Amino acid sequence: MNNNNFIVSTLPVMEHFYTLQGEGYHQGKAAYFIRLGGCDVGCVWCDVKESWDADAHEKIEVHEIVSKVKNSTPKGLVVITGGEPLMHNLDMLTSVLQEAGYQTNIETSGSHPLSGKWDWICLSPKKFKEPLLEIMPLANELKIVVFNKSDFEWAEKYAGMVNDTCKLYLQPEWDKSSLITPLIVDYIKKNPQWELSLQLHKYIDVP
């Protein structure tokens, strides 16, 4: 269900934890992750398919969520992810987090209308449900998960839609990383506007 038409005070939270951001522009930085339940994108290679059913996860009050953040981390980066977090209205959550002094970062496929107040938008479009065009110029970071060779051409399609300051990343799909990473390296050497994103957290075995 898309709740973008009204403010919500509770959200289905699959998990939340303090760790290091493992991917993209903020890789290596301390970050508190809030993973929301609910996703209708359906990536076949998704490694958190248990997040797809929003009803399977406890609905928690926004102020309680923020309280958990405050108790776990100094003021810094908070990443809202999923699932597909934009299935929910995030205006209240992000407002309360920013009022408490936190930076808000979203990781989204862009397949639902944007809600919330964001310091950083990481757009990771998927072929299974393409992003809304309205979100493209708002992205600070475009992160393409590369599953096969055809994804390079697909990546360029979206690189042409984002703004000139948007950071561009190619990331190998984890289960195919040994095959795909060398292809990405070669591609970036020929197309240096792109950078490599690796799932660092999986290499160092943190959440």
Listed residue (126, 127, 87, 90) closest to 105, CA to CA: 90
Task: Give how many domains the chain has, as a whole number.
Answer: 1
Angstrom distance (rounded) from CA 160 to CA 182: 24
Domain that holds residue 37: 10-203
- Determine, yes or no, domain membership for 89: yes
- Please tell me the predicted confidence (pLDDT) of residue 69: 96
Q: Tell me: the pLDDT tens digits for 15-64? A: 999 999 999 999 999 999 999 999 998 888 788 888 899 999 999 999 99
- Please tell me the predicted confidence (pLDDT) of residue 4: 52
Average pLDDT rounded to a whole number, residues 135-150: 96
- Determine, yes or no, domain membership for 5: no
Average pLDDT rounded to a whole number, residues 168-191: 96
Q: Tell me: the pLDDT tens digits for 81-139? A: 999 999 999 999 999 999 999 999 999 999 999 999 999 999 999 988 999 999 999 99
- Determine, yes or no, domain membership for 4: no
Query: What's the CATH number where 198 sits?
Result: 3.20.20.70
- Please tell me the predicted confidence (pLDDT) of residue 81: 96
- Please tell me the predicted confidence (pLDDT) of residue 1: 42
- Please tell me the predicted confidence (pLDDT) of residue 7: 66
Angstrom distance (rounded) from CA 28 to CA 39: 26
Average pLDDT rounded to a whole number, residues 67-73: 92
The more confident residue out of 72 and 197 is 197
- Please tell me the predicted confidence (pLDDT) of residue 2: 46
- Please tell me the predicted confidence (pLDDT) of residue 6: 56
- Determine, yes or no, domain membership for 3: no
Contact 112, 134 (CB under 8 A): no
The 3-state DSSP class for residue 47 equals: coil
- Please tell me the predicted confidence (pLDDT) of residue 96: 96
Q: How far is CA 66 from the centre of its chain?
A: 19
The more confident residue out of 206 and 98 is 98
The answer, yes or no, to whether residue 5 has pLDDT greater than 60, is no
- Determine, yes or no, domain membership for 106: yes
The answer, yes or no, to whether residue 177 has pLDDT greater than 80, is yes
- Please tell me the predicted confidence (pLDDT) of residue 107: 97
How much is the pTM?
0.93
Report angle CA 139, 71, 19 to the nearest 5 degrees. Answer: 50
